[in-house]
Amino acid sequence: MAAESAFPLGDSFHVFDTTLRDGAQREGITYSVADKIAVATLLDELGVGFIEGGWPGAVPKDTEFFARAADGELSLTTSTLVAFGATRKAGVKAQDDPQVRALLDSRASVVTLVAKSDIRHVTRALRTTPEENLAMVADTVALLVAEGRRVFLDCEHFFDGYRFDRDYGLRVAEAAAGAGASVIVLCDTNGGMLPSRVHQTVAEVLQRSGLRLGIHCQNDTGCAVANTIAAVEAGATHVQCTANGYGERPGNADLFAVVGNLATKMDMPVLPHGRLTDMVRVSHAIAELANLVPDTHQPYVGSVAFAHKAGLHASAIKVDPVLYNHIDPAIVGNDMRILITEMAGRASVELKAAELGVDLTSRPDVVSRVVETVKKREADGWSYEAADASFLLLLRREIARADGRVGGTGDGSADGSEPEDSRVGPRAAMRPFTIESYRVIVEHNGVGVAKSEATVKVLVGGERVIVTAEGNGPVNALDSALRQAVVAHYPQLADVELADYKVRILSGSAGTGSITRVLVTSTDATSDWTTVGVHANVVEASFRALVDALLYAAGRQTVTA
């Protein structure tokens, strides 16, 4: 193992990642060789013990990956690269089997072999005899070990097979171990086991054989992580996982949940010192390489893994965050978040304001106003749960109102709750800019081409600016016109881009007249932020969210009450 001393538990416990092999079987994932190198590098940075890179000889892309890795394109400082393959074919000598030869040619120092351990699969799928299958396992392991490779054996369908025949799977495991395999991995290939069954089986096999056991669980019952932990509790010392639970069908045991549980619940330092805080970063980076959106609700690493909505929770968290967090989020590189909804109470607002850089501890008047406003707007369809930037603008406005000021830098919103907040009014002079009016025209030329044109009238820097712009739709045209109108006074807005745009119908029974809620995510060179707009007119809802996005960017600063 590369840099074995980096692991607090040494070789006595393995975290084995198979994102690049089993995880790649998830629908929608297609890694390029460059992607595989990048994912392996991230896993090495996290500090997993072993990285299964794929099946050389069976998958051309995997053959190329191992060749490029061996030639220096992949430099692992902590992890060990593993090649995956099958035992020799029936009736073929191991040294003559091209697939076995490809495993040696991969130059990987560790090989995982998969073997049938359910006698029904041996006779029906392999169409060979139980004894020949045992010989296939022993011969292949012996050859690889003789060639200097470390071998792990994946006993495919072990748990299902063990329920049918308690002896044959054990014979397969013992044949591999007798030939030199160092770890026997029991696989819940169909993903149908429950934790109690996994624990019982692992404990029995360990007692009967004394072999070093590993665990590989699919997630078809939603129990892959629980089954993996149950196996460890029963004596398994090698866990196979995939980043973010990627894998065939519902997936595999999630690497980050398994490692998080082992490290924080079982006091097992399975990663090198200091690496646990990289979990969120690595999880999201791998999702990006897989071209998948990170799962916001994923344990430990999801963006809402430590998010709190209920006011009762927030009140307790204000006293002590431990009361409603199962661990300190920072341990795994995450953050606690307070979600602002109609459930929010005074504590929620205070904590969320602090999260956004606004101290309201001595402003109960502002807190009361904000709580009342949020509850009213939530009833009308507004949601600040995912729109921190719009909520910050609301905070600024309520602080200004409570202080009797006409406004302040960054004050204002396009929420439309009071016309003077988003149009010309007494607060206009103190805001970055104020919308006077806008107009959108959509023209269809009769041959399938529709053009959108938007005109906005804005008060900015003491001037009245009128800009007209075209776009590929009304929202795009409005965005372009608004940006052009204010960028001369706020050059930083030139770097702001629309990253995401979501529309939700809130009252579907009204058909095309339904209330719509629009969430806009914007980004620049340093960060991203989300704003919200609500209206029966989807263009107006979109415009409100766009205005908030630019108001936030133009007036970004830490505000204190």
Sequence-distant (6+) residues with CB within 8 A of 530 are 386, 387, 388, 389, 390, 519, 520, 521, 522
pLDDT mean over 543-553? 94
| Mean pLDDT of the residues in the chain | 88
- Cβ neighbours of 299 (radius 10 Å): 17
Confidence of residue 546 (pLDDT cuts 50, 70, 90): very high
More confident position, 398 or 317: 398
Amino acid at position 80, single letter:
T
User: Which pLDDT does position 362 carry in this prediction?
Assistant: 86
Does position 483 have pLDDT exceeding 60, yes or no? Answer: yes
User: Which pLDDT does position 428 carry in this prediction?
Assistant: 40
Percent of the chain with pLDDT over 90: 68
Confidence of residue 469 (pLDDT cuts 50, 70, 90): very high
SS3 for 139?
helix
User: Which pLDDT does position 340 carry in this prediction?
Assistant: 66
Parallel/antiparallel/unpaired status of strands 516-523 and 497-505: antiparallel
The per-residue pLDDT for range 487-511, each reduced to its tens digit, is: 999 998 999 998 888 998 876 555 5
Does position 408 have pLDDT exceeding 90, yes or no? Answer: no
User: Which pLDDT does position 313 carry in this prediction?
Assistant: 52
The per-residue pLDDT for range 446-456, each reduced to its tens digit, is: 776 788 999 99
Does position 416 have pLDDT exceeding 50, yes or no? Answer: no
Does position 332 have pLDDT exceeding 70, yes or no? Answer: yes
Does position 513 have pLDDT exceeding 70, yes or no? Answer: no
Alpha carbons 210 and 254: distance in angstroms, whole number: 28
pLDDT mean over 179-194? 98
pLDDT mean over 143-165? 98
> Which residue carries 């400082």 as its tokens?
77
Does position 429 have pLDDT exceeding 50, yes or no? Answer: no
Choose the most confident range, by mean pLDDT, from 253-262, 404-413, 419-428: 253-262
pLDDT mean over 191-210? 98
Parallel/antiparallel/unpaired status of strands 497-505 and 110-116: unpaired
The per-residue pLDDT for range 207-257, each reduced to its tens digit, is: 999 999 999 999 999 999 999 999 999 999 999 999 999 999 999 999 999
Angle in degrees, CA 109, 112, 117, rounded to 5? 155
Percent of the chain with pLDDT over 70: 88
User: Which pLDDT does position 509 carry in this prediction?
Assistant: 54
pLDDT mean over 54-67? 97
Which domains, ranges and CATH numbers included, belong to the chain? Answer: 12-289 (3.20.20.70)
